[in-house]
Amino acid sequence: MRVDLFDFELPAESIALRPARPRDAARMLVVAGDAAFADLIVCDLPGQLRAGDVLVFNDTRVIPAQLEGRRGDAKIGATLHKRIDLRRWQAFVRNAKRLRTGDTIDFANDVQATAEAQLEDGSWILAFLGGEPVEVLLDRAGQMPLPPYIASKRPTDAADKSDYQTMFAAQDGAVAAPTAALHFTPELMAALAQAGVKSETVTLHVGAGTFLPVKVEDTADHKMHAEWGTVSAGVAARLNAARQAGGRVIAVGTTSLRLLESAADDAGTIQAFTGDTAIFITPGYRFKGVDGLMTNFHLPKSTLFMLVASLMGRERMQAAYAHAVGQGYRFYSYGDASLLLP
């Protein structure tokens, strides 16, 4: 499909630079079937779901994966994307033309990495030096990797360390937050449980590729970056049982959705899954593992807007986003939420 079919007008002032406080006070646009759009608040979520429904959260934890350093007199910026092994990461590098294979990059606080090799997509494999675990080095030298559309408007600060982490964060490895889950609080989870709504967690380590723009004219020519994820056998069994009992599986975030769809077979049964996924969902895709999605508002012409258009219909989502812009909803990682129920 033509990428320009997924374009829409988005005023710069619609981009949220800080999250709502409290988290569950963010606005929530409900798009359910052909019903009229409903303008609610995230804390209204229990009333929009049914007893027996299951919310599936991504429990990945964002690491301080944004690094600034030097190679000689050249400034080098690196955003870690995907872990290769204990000491090596794939990274997108700024000012990469000043980097050569074998160069050592000096980051802050005596953290160093060797540029091992440049890959076909332009990213680099960086091998961190020294005996300390890479996580320790990143805590010392790295910053939270805010999305470019926020970082270009203000510097990262101390508040982002907590603001850009969900309450479910447990497994180190993401370089971007599963932002739909940023809206949840212990109080909201208690209200959901009281309403009979269940919850499960899966892990997908979100890569920096999630920020990359689609530069081709046709979706068939776009290549997704792979991300590592896992769905345990126990979680898969409970999700299948919930659906068999009449409950719906609602993914919280596109990361949870993409992982569940990667784990589902053609019959719609969710299987245990561990490995990389590069699934790219565009209109015409038949959803197998999920029955709905809670997600933030996404960029024009992005793979994530294509995903929500695939779930609800392109014209329906164009209308929903036009409504959101007109009603002053806040977009992107720190913005408001949408609940999409086909």
Whether the Cβ atoms of residue 3 and residue 219 lie closer than 8 Å to each other? yes
Compute the distance between CA of residue 30 and CA of residue 290 in angstroms, rounded to an integer. Answer: 17
Residue carrying the six token digits 């784990």: 263
Torsion of CA 12, 15, 18, 21, to 10 degrees: 130
Q: Give pLDDT, residue 211.
A: 62
**Burial annotation 220-257 (CB, 10 A radius, 16+ → b, else e):** eebebbbbbbbbeeebbeebbebbeeebbbbbbbbbbb
Q: Show me where the domains of the chain are located.
A: 3-62+162-341, 66-142
pTM: 0.91
Q: Give pLDDT, residue 225.
A: 83
The predicted-structure confidence for 132-157, as pLDDT tens digits, reads as follows: 999 999 999 999 888 877 888 898 88
Q: Give pLDDT, residue 223.
A: 84
The predicted-structure confidence for 214-224, as pLDDT tens digits, reads as follows: 889 999 898 88
Superfamily in which the 3-62+162-341 domain is placed by CATH: QueA-like (3.40.1780.10)
DSSP for 239-279?
HHHHHHTT--EEEESHHHHHHHHHHB-TTSPBPPEEEEE--
Write down the CATH number for the domain with range 66-142. 2.40.10.240
Give the DSSP letter of residue 331.
B
CA-nearest of 201, 228, 189 to 49 is: 189
CA-nearest of 282, 176, 284 to 222 is: 282
At 214, list the tokens.
């689609």
- Asked if the domains at 3-62+162-341 and 66-142 fall in one CATH topology, the answer is no
Compute the distance between CA of residue 166 and CA of residue 180 in angstroms, rounded to an integer. Answer: 9
* pLDDT averaged over 10-residue windows placed end to end, the chain, 342 residues: 93 94 98 97 98 98 94 94 92 94 96 96 94 93 86 87 95 92 98 98 86 83 90 98 98 98 97 96 96 96 96 97 98 96 97
